[in-house]
Amino acid sequence: MESPRVIAGVARIVRDVAIAEELAQDALVAALEQWPRDGVPDNPGAWLTATAKHRAIDLVRRRERYARKLAEVGRDLEATPHHVDEPADPDDIDDDLLRLVFTACHPVLSAESRIALTLRLLGGLTTAEIARAFLVAETTVAQRIVRAKRTLAAKGVAFEVPYGPERDARLGSVLEVIYLIFNEGYAATAGDDLLRPALCEDALRLARVLAELMPKEPEVHGLASLLEFQASRSAARTGQNGEPVLLGDQNRTRWNRLLIARGVTALGRADAVATGAPGPYALQAAIAACHAHAHRYEDTDWARIATLYGLLAARSPSPVVELNRAVAVSMAEGPGPALEIVDRLAGEPALRGYHLLPSVRGDLLARLGRTAEARAEFERAASLARNERERELLRARAQDCR
């Protein structure tokens, strides 16, 4: 629990994420050695942070290549009393944690590396846990993390929170990483399970932390709201045997009302601090809110959802957004107009191999009574799906068309 804060505090001193992580681990080892003998301190987090910082100071002193850094920061650091009961300054720790978030999610890294490094440093996951979550080899994850640390050092990425246009660009990267982590947990790309709850929980926790650290950023609250709403439906999205349950068939009494309330609050905060039109995450949160407010599937305000998807498509054009808009249009106006939208997406390169395109088209065709065509679409969708649970569902829908 304390690891991200300890790493963040030390990284501010040594300006190297890899070294900061090693020093944080050294502090944890020291705790395992001393606490059983001397007792657990009143503020364990402050103890760990202070111990790691003191080791960082010693490292700076020992290594000649840190001589310049010692001249710049050593004088101030030595003014701090060298005892392990150093009180932690919550504001200072939060600033360091925010720097660590922006460093781990720097655009100079690939998306896969950003995700792995964020889960390692901020989520506290081991390399093995990350590998299991994304169904890749442990060595692959380890290499991504090592390469990410080397890249940050080689590129001289500053351990700081950027401002102005650079901050806007970097914040987008941070939000994207958290969003991708949640999505992988909410609808696993591959494997035997539809959900990976641990990833959803990690992403949700990161979004909540970021919202506390950056209270004036509307899109941060928008993302937090979206994840709260989505997470509220998790318990109802699978049946007793882990099979997917479609939105219209979900038992809404199993939706988590506390998470829905948190989503409403976060969306209100996003609206309160926004100075212009809502951003993509706030718009997606507003769509999720429409579902959350409908006590029955039949009560869903599909017309408003279709309008919100239209705004989202204008704000962030995407074939996937347009496909989602088609679903909303089909519920608000009927399958005919929606099929026209879907057919226009057939040639989109980004949707080539995307199993939800033929899945949506199959649903629309089935509702129009064109069952033979619908069956072919569901079979094609099943052949493209990489998740076994989704494949089973799509094959069942194809069978129903017979």
Helix (H, G, I), strand (E, B) or coil at 244: strand
Q: Quickly tell me which residue has 């995450």 as its tokens.
A: 281
DSSP label at residue 88? P
Predicted confidence at residue 212, as pLDDT, reads 87
Helix (H, G, I), strand (E, B) or coil at 191: strand
**How many CB atoms sit inside 10 A of residue 216's CB?**
10
CA atoms within 13 A on the CB side of 46: 14
> Residue 324 is encoded by which pair of tokens?
């989602």
**pLDDT digit string, tens, across residues 96-127:** 777 888 888 888 999 889 888 988 887 777 88
Predicted confidence at residue 83, as pLDDT, reads 42
> Residue 44 is encoded by which pair of tokens?
């364990």
Q: What is the spatial distance between Cα 140 and Cα 185, in angstroms, rounded to a whole number?
A: 19
Q: Among positive and negative, which fits the CA dihedral 52, 54, 57, 63?
A: negative
Claim: this prediction has a pTM higher than 0.75: no
280-293 helix and 302-315 helix, angle to the nearest 10 degrees: 170
177: burial class by Cβ within 10 Å (0-12, 13-18, 19+)?
Answer: buried
Q: What is the pLDDT along the chain (402 residues), one digit of tens a residue?
A: 678 788 888 887 887 888 888 888 899 999 999 999 999 998 888 899 889 888 888 776 666 554 555 556 555 555 554 443 343 443 344 567 778 888 888 889 998 898 889 888 877 778 887 886 676 789 999 999 999 999 998 988 888 887 777 777 788 888 988 888 888 777 655 555 556 777 788 889 889 988 988 899 999 999 999 999 999 998 998 888 888 888 999 999 999 999 999 999 999 999 999 999 999 999 999 999 999 999 999 999 999 999 999 999 999 998 999 999 999 999 999 999 999 999 999 889 888 888 999 999 999 999 999 999 999 999 999 999 888 888 999 999 999 987
Q: How far is CA 65 from CA 19, 59, 71, 91, 149, in A?
A: 14, 10, 11, 30, 18
Q: What is the spatial distance between Cα 141 and Cα 139, in angstroms, rounded to a whole number?
A: 5
